[in-house]
Chain A
Amino acid sequence: MIPFLIYAAIFIASFVLVKKVLRRARPQDFTSLKTVTFGDESAVVSDRTASVVSIATIFLLWGMFTGSTLLPSFLHAPGPFEGTTQFDYTVEAGGQRDSATVTVVVHPIDRDPVLPEVDPGDGFAKNDAAAVGRWRSGLIRVDTNDEIGRDGGAVVVAIDGQPIAPGERVRVADGTVTLSDRGTPNFAPSKGWQMEPIWLPPPEAVASRLMEIASEGFRGATLAEHLGLSLFRVLVGFALGALIGIPLGYAMGLSNWFRGWFDPIVEFMRPVPPLALIPLVIIWAGIGEAGKIILLFLAALWIMAIAARSGVSGVRISKVHAAYSLGASKWQIMRHVIIPNSLPDIFTGARVAMGVCWGTVVAAELVAAEAGAGMMIMVASKFQNTDIVLMGIILIGVIGFAIDMLMRWAERVMVPWKGKG
């Protein structure tokens, strides 16, 4: 809730700042001369500043709530309590009451605590010292050093003067104390607003893990091998799918018989998500390379076939007629009219197919693989290496984005006439 409010606040504040304050002095550019911009799709272009602020905000929030060292500490959200704190407890035994103090050292979990020396004090209840890990909680057997222990009938009745019964909880200086069913105080130091690294590691931890895995590898393969293997599977699967799918689509677009024969198959397979085929493919082909590539081949095949088919059927009949009356043969029409005309559709299909293949390969590796981007994050999650999981997700996202950008660029270069017929 708090992070969301901060996010919304930054969104609004940067909008107001950039739009109203910084840009007011600017000369009016072309789009701002338009009187109608609302509803004019061409007048809406992505604001670079907004994109930069948006990404910075995500990292800022991430750093704030993980206590990142990349941020100055005044920006950190309140962290978990760490250090030494105290609370009093009151025991009743045989009609008498006595109080003593518990000194608790709250320490980072990866470091061993040093218990402070405490003066036992007077009365039958003696002062205690205990250690609890940060973000953790610990039962504190306060009666072990007392003159009358739990077995002697001593019962804890109050913490810091507030009465308490088993199962109840009271607030103390730097946390809460809950009385267990058997009457032992359980101290939980306050957690603050930051996330524990096991849930969400700070950005620098992810970055250093990236460096570490990039140089040392993970599970017997380097990072480049993991990612390269996933990419390789996508490329091979996609290439095979395109190799079969495009001619199939052409045949379906040009021949009644092919259309009739393959339409039911294609139309049936199209809505089946490739992920649903994973179990079957594993049964048939195992978890090795063959299975993965068959899966990606199937994922790309239908998309490419449908794209090629619509590319062929989308040719304007007047273009075909024009080519015929200019003396072109069937083959020449295929080569010079139908194929070029279908390329924009095929590129669109290829972009979709690459995206689907990339998603499918990661999912398939999550299920079963010896190496690959998906396998990396799956194994890491089993060992609660959240930093590796995050790193993997970020890399998968970056690669997916890069693939899409590459496809768009290829489209711009190779079919500049797209959408201009």
Chain B
Amino acid sequence: MTGLAIENLSMRFDLPHGGSVQALKDVTLNLAEGELLSVLGPSGCGKTTLLNIVAGFLAPTQGQITMNGHRVTGPDAERGMVFQQGALFEWMNVRDNVSFGPRMAGRKASDYGPNVDHLLDVVGLRDFKDKAVYELSGGMQQRVALARCLANDPDVILMDEPLGALDALTREKMQGLVLKLWKETGKTIILITHSVEEALLLGERLVVMAPRPGRIHREYRLPFAEMGVNADLREVKKHPDFAKTREEILSMIWDMEEEIMGRTEVAQ
């Protein structure tokens, strides 16, 4: 079986001074190869935790993840991750960052070099390949992170708010880039975001999570990502269904947040 299967995943964090937090409860998700799933949810609903478990950085208290028929027990090059920020190696220049994966695998420069150069072209950083990463802007750094992940050719790309720290314009350009790369490479992608618009634009499927305990609240199948591959993203946003779905999800998340707030008020 190809693809990614998340089965009955539960995660409980034991707190140092007693008590525990149920970060995830019975999360089940199946992703076919080449699917792009975006995940939305109020803060603290376990999105990062879910992604960390899929990446193999955390072991779940219950349930399991199966990838292409084998069980996930730790991090692996088949599952690449793009972090929100600060995960580049600032002691390497742009090119060495991007070629990190192939180099660690012991491949020759003549072998991975053309691909790395091609990826730097794709993310528009050809002229910056000898620069130190700390000399780049935030948006450029995220493009390096994306290229680094792609250069390693993973089957699944996990992104935890990869565009969260960018300004609106850069963000829009990067969204276009993510769509383009997804279509070109056919990777399976899980994208966590705080922006409903971004989730709608990029997600072929969209999952809205609910907090306490973290669980899947609703799932959508959306046409916008397909549309966005060929059209201007701004045109896609004008689609009547887009606005309708956005309002629906926004009020859903709003209700959840209100419920949390209300509950804390009662507790006080």
| A contacts, CB < 8 Å to B | 316, 318-319, 321-329, 332, 336-337, 340-341, 343, 415-417, 420-421
Set A321, A341, A416, A420: member contacting B81, Cβ < 8 A? A321
Cβ A341 vs Cβ B91 within 8 A: yes
Q: How far is the CA of A321 from the CA of B152 in the complex (A)?
A: 14
Set A325, A327, A336: member contacting B89, Cβ < 8 A? A336
Cβ A316 vs Cβ B81 within 8 A: no
Cβ B104 vs Cβ A332 within 8 A: yes
Q: Could you say which residues of chain A place their CB within 8 Å of the CB of B81?
A: 321-322, 325
Nearest Cβ in chain B — how far from A328, in angstroms?
4
Q: Could you say which residues of chain B place their CB within 8 Å of the CB of A341?
A: 91
A327 in contact with B76 given A318-B87, A319-B87, A421-B86 (CB within 8 Å): yes
Report the nearest A residue to B145, measured CB to CB: A322
Nearest Cβ in chain A — how far from B30, in angstroms?
21
A-B residue pairs, 4 tightest by C-beta:
A327-B77, A420-B134, A324-B75, A326-B101
Set A323, A329, A416: member contacting B100, Cβ < 8 A? A323
Nearest Cβ in chain A — how far from B71, in angstroms?
17
B49-100 interface with A by 8 A CB criterion:
55-57, 74-77, 79-81, 83, 86-91, 100
A325 in contact with B134 given A336-B104, A417-B90, A420-B90 (CB within 8 Å): no
A325 in contact with B80 given A341-B91, A417-B132 (CB within 8 Å): yes
A-B contact pairs, 19 of them (CB 8 A): A316-B86, A319-B87, A321-B83, A322-B83, A322-B148, A324-B56, A324-B75, A325-B75, A325-B77, A325-B81, A325-B158, A326-B101, A327-B77, A332-B104, A336-B100, A341-B91, A416-B132, A417-B91, A417-B134
B168 interfacial contact with A, CB 8 Å:
no
Size range of the chain B interface in the assembly? 20 to 34
Cβ B100 vs Cβ A340 within 8 A: no
Q: Could you say which residues of chain B place their CB within 8 Å of the CB of A415?
A: 91
| B contacts, CB < 8 Å to A | 55-57, 74-77, 79-81, 83, 86-91, 100-101, 104-105, 132, 134, 148-149, 152, 154, 158
> Which of A328, A337, A415 has the largest number of chain B CB atoms within 10 A?
A328
Cβ B86 vs Cβ A318 within 8 A: yes
Report the nearest B residue to A319, measured CB to CB: B87
Cβ B77 vs Cβ A326 within 8 A: yes
What does DSSP make chain B's interface, helix, strand, loop or mixed? loop
Other contacts beyond A325-B76, A325-B77: 12, CB < 8 A: A321-B87, A322-B148, A325-B55, A325-B56, A325-B75, A325-B79, A325-B154, A337-B89, A340-B89, A341-B91, A416-B132, A420-B134
Q: Could you say which residues of chain A place their CB within 8 Å of the CB of B80?
A: 325-326
Report the nearest A residue to B75, measured CB to CB: A324
Set A327, A343, A417, A420: member contacting B152, Cβ < 8 A? A327
Q: Could you say which residues of chain B place their CB within 8 Å of the CB of A421?
A: 86, 90, 134
Set A324, A326, A340: member contacting B91, Cβ < 8 A? A340
Q: Could you say which residues of chain B place their CB within 8 Å of the CB of A416?
A: 132
Q: How far is the CA of A415 from the CA of B79 in the complex (A)?
A: 31
Q: How far is the CA of A299 from the CA of B57 in the complex (A)?
A: 39
Set A318, A324, A332, A337: member contacting B83, Cβ < 8 A? A318
Report the nearest B residue to A329, measured CB to CB: B104
Q: How far is the CA of A329 from the CA of B74 in the complex (A)?
A: 12
Q: How far is the CA of A319 from the CA of B91 in the complex (A)?
A: 12
Report the nearest A residue to B135, measured CB to CB: A420
